[in-house]
Amino acid sequence: MLLDDRPGPVYLQAWGGTNTIAKALARIQKQHPAEVDRVSQKAVLFIILDQDNTFRTYVEPNWPKLQVLGSFRQFGVLAFGWRNQIPPAYRVFFERPWLEGQAISGRLAVVYSQNDLGGAWARGPLGEWEYDCTPGGEAQREAAMRLGVNVAMYALCTDYKDDAVHLPFILKRRS
């Protein structure tokens, strides 16, 4: 899409890091060096959250004409460190112990949690947990992990609860 002759921008979204996009840009830079300026004018990089240094070490110095949009604080506040960013009086709007969903033709199309699942999953560079789970501690972290696995399984195969082929693996890993 970046190398074709179709007009208009091509939006590249990075939800967590730009390493995959950087790899594609590096291939273009190496295999099609004459197209770098045209690709820089066509591509719009939208970084939702930048978890690695690929943008700073490769994309920014090698693609200075690339249009870049960033949404660093907004996502981080809602997904990871919101407790530290939102005044206590407003936290009630972000603390709800249930999930919400939107169904289309009887199938959930959107599952939404106002709880900080991303914060429960986040690990630092050395593998340590980045955030404490409060008020529920490690039981709350396990519930967040289980919810994440269930949502992923539901998204990938809608009938996974009816097909128990995965059950022995899950039970083996739990023990």
Q: What's the pLDDT tens digit per position in 32-52?
A: 999 999 999 999 998 876 777
> Residue 144: what are its φ and ψ, rounded to 5°?
-65, -40
Tokens standing for 37?
């300026």
Strands lying side by side in the sheet with 43-50: 10-16, 43-50, 67-70
Q: Residue 7: pLDDT band by 50, 70, 90 thresholds?
A: confident
Among 11, 80, 75, smallest CA distance to 43 is for 11
Are 21 and 62 spatial neighbours (Cβ–Cβ below 8 Å)?
no
Among 108, 110, 117, smallest CA distance to 158 is for 108
- Compute the average pLDDT of residues 90-102: 66
The amino acid present at 150, given as its one-letter code, is N
Q: What percent of the chain is predicted at pLDDT more than 70?
A: 73
**Taking the model in full, what pTM does it have?**
0.46
- Compute the average pLDDT of residues 62-82: 72
Among 119, 108, 95, smallest CA distance to 150 is for 108
